A = this chain, B = another copy of it.
């Protein structure tokens, strides 16, 4: 039984009892499906061209859509071959690609941070005497003595290293480059071999990013990214933990993400003529669940009170154990985590921000699914996870989407009749197909200033305007009209967004209160994560998500998880520093914090019940 696609020659096999969304996922075709395939979000639309499959439901599809043959892939259970068309708008797109050119400044940043080129993989040039009848020491003893002569002692040798050692020594004719990392022997190569390579890996819940780094000069040779194929087992960390534990899919999840990393690495290495064996180091950065799943560690306790991860400081794995495309003896370093919901990606990010080295008090925020924040300076660091939810990534918002092509990323509302101008990601003229996080923030703050929405997030029905109307899903504001239909924000969407921003702002204010301070002590805000450069600070302050501070105190850092991983790859100093940062970060569990609930309730308003906290917004409102 197969699914034929209108734009693809090879059909996709489908097992009876499975829905089309799953079959497409397994074939590497990812659709938007923020509800996880429950038929409620209405985003996995496909057009049925041929066949009469069983359709379990139509969710939010309109009569017109249904008449056109649009179905929800997660509701379609074929019992014979079918043919479908997957509209571009239904496809999940990988987030902003990181251009190699953007990585050029990284080595300079490493130097500015007091590091130099000094990866954990070290090289020693050893010239051994060849064995003779009078000196018939074993190969290993000969090697060990040469190492001792070079001041290298206590090296550990794996069985696999020893299995290949004799041939390697003789191939190098006893004159060789010996590579080792953290006390483990990695390889024996010809004396004049070029220095090795490393990969830095950011395992995001949604995307996986890999840098291929030349350890000769610290340059990023290439960057690759792909969807985290674990998506097929669930969109967020919780559904993946459930799949790993209750579903018995731990090994499967581990294998899946390793293969993603392997696939990218193989492609990057092939493109640059790098041999597998030359990649001697991998640095892995990910949230606690992603790190556990990469390692194949039971993540069960992460989601059960008291939310305890199995491991927070990870030992170094060998390449072969990690199942990566690299030297089997190579070192695989994993960033330490702070807590179940403040992972290695945040430690990596804080380290990359350098906030922990400066006296000024800074706020670091990574607004993805979770919304992790850290506040502190060179003396103290405090951190929390805000459980903001994934709405800024498009989940739970009817027309929400990730910040990819076709997403409305900026909104301007003018006039009493609420004229709307939108900025859309993509080349000029790209038709909007949804609204991403920065677009949502713009839209609501503009609606608020224009009087279309009140402090509580309620829309005011205006008989004169078609902008605000009562639709199928209740009151809604029309952001854009397209041939494919209107893109709107409903009152429920707005409520979800207010909850998310309230969680973040309440997290920030709770954290600063924990250390006996007030938000105005914050001198610098580092914004990391997918939000990246699209976030309009002004609007986020009006929304009440960010503290009302001088605008030049905000800095966008992009994907700090991969930046920190890069740093730890080119310089071992940053592996030590990451351990120190993780140890210094005091975790606050907001769900049991007495003050948090009050802060959260006060923050559910636009911008806040206490408008005095937002003086510049207060002025704007008065205008």
Q: Which residues on A are within 8 Å of B, measured CB to CB?
A: 131-133, 135-141, 156-159, 162-163, 165-167, 295-298, 300-301, 305-313, 315, 317, 321, 337, 339-340, 587, 589, 592
Contacts and interface: CB of A to CB of B under 8 A. Distances in A.
A138 B305 contact: no
A163 B296 contact: yes
Contacts of A132: 306
Contacts of A137: 308, 312
A140 B317 contact: no
A139 B314 CA distance: 12
B159 A309 contact: no
A306 B156 contact: no
Copies of this protein, total: 2
B313 A159 contact: no
A180 to B, nearest CB: 14
A131 B166 contact: no
Given A133-B592, A159-B321, A297-B163, A140 B311 contact: yes
A162 B165 CA distance: 29
Given A163-B297, A306-B133, A138 B315 contact: no
17 contacts: A131-B301, A131-B306, A133-B307, A136-B307, A136-B340, A136-B589, A138-B312, A138-B337, A139-B309, A140-B310, A141-B312, A162-B295, A162-B297, A162-B310, A162-B311, A162-B315, A166-B301
A317 B159 contact: yes
A295 B165 CA distance: 13
Nearest to A591: B133
A298 to B, nearest CB: 5
B312 A133 contact: no
Contacts of A337: 138
A166 B295 CA distance: 14
Given A296-B163, A298-B166, A321-B159, A138 B592 contact: no
A339 to B, nearest CB: 6
A321 to B, nearest CB: 5
Contact of A298 (B136, B141, B167): B167
Given A159-B317, A298-B166, A589 B310 contact: no
Given A157-B315, A301-B166, A136 B308 contact: yes
Contacts of A133: 305-307, 589, 592
A135 B163 CA distance: 45
Contacts of A141: 312-313
Closest 3 CB pairs of A and B: A138-B312, A131-B308, A140-B311
Contacts of A135: 306
Nearest to A131: B308
Contact of A313 (B140, B167, B308, B592): B140
Contacts of A140: 310-313
B311 A138 contact: yes
Given A313-B140, A587-B136, A295 B131 contact: no
Nearest to A322: B159
Contacts of A298: 163, 166-167
A171 to B, nearest CB: 12
